Homo-oligomer: A and B are copies of this chain.
Amino acid sequence: MPAVVNRAVIMACALTASHVLQVEALLDTIKWDSNGLVVAIAQHIDTGAILMQGFANRDAVATTMNSHLATFYSRSRANLWTKGETSSNFINVLDVFFDCDHDSIIYLGVPDGPTCHTGAETCYFTSAADILGSLQSGTKSALTTLYLLEDIIKQKKLEIEEQTTTSSNKASWTKTLLENRKLLCSKIRFMPLSMYTVGGTLA
């Protein structure tokens, strides 16, 4: 092996050793609870959706940082588990965030598929507002405003399309809005964001 390769190998090893030391120093700053755990929240980097929440010990956080796959500690089974190891729906972690107290972390990443074992995108699909409003089990996701708005517009569009095929094509303000992107954007811009969520509030 030529000397230049040896030097490159030594340099790579030194860099890796330095990275390992940095990760260890970072893990030293975490305030683990009496069971050696912190709360670990997996969040979708694009939609902002909270996908799931588990607990992580030092090994779980280190594994996540090295493999870039969200890894947790199962309190019931007393072992490490990587989300997706049975379903193949891994969560690819792009960054890990610590809170101000360093006792709670976010795995910010991109999921390969639905996170919940039920097949839902996120584990948080039961809305108290829905249940209290209708006495039926809520099934919507904890969508933030822009994604909720996207859902509402999609729903309105479907309703309009159904009306068009089943009844007379009568004039409708919603239809006019949906057919005129400029008008729709203007309407969206000038309505307070909270207006979109009124239907889903606990009030």
Contact = CB atoms under 8 A, between A and B. Distances in A.
A202 B68 contact: yes
A95 to B, nearest CB: 4
Contacts of A41: 41, 50, 53
Interface string A121-135: 001111111011001
A80 interface: no
Interface in A74-118: 93-102, 104, 106, 108, 110, 116-118
A202 B65 contact: yes
A10 interface: no
Contact of A106 (B50, B95, B120): B50
Interface in A138-152: 142, 144-146
A95 B26 contact: no
A174 interface: no
A176 B94 CA distance: 30
A144 B93 contact: no
Given A50-B41, A129-B95, A201-B94, A120 B145 contact: no
A125 B96 contact: no
A49 interface: yes
Interface stretch (A1-9, A158-166, A192-200): A192-200
Nearest to A110: B194
A50 B107 CA distance: 11
Given A200-B94, A203-B68, A117 B131 contact: no
Nearest to A55: B39
Given A53-B104, A100-B123, A95 B47 contact: no
A202 B46 contact: no
B124 A26 contact: no
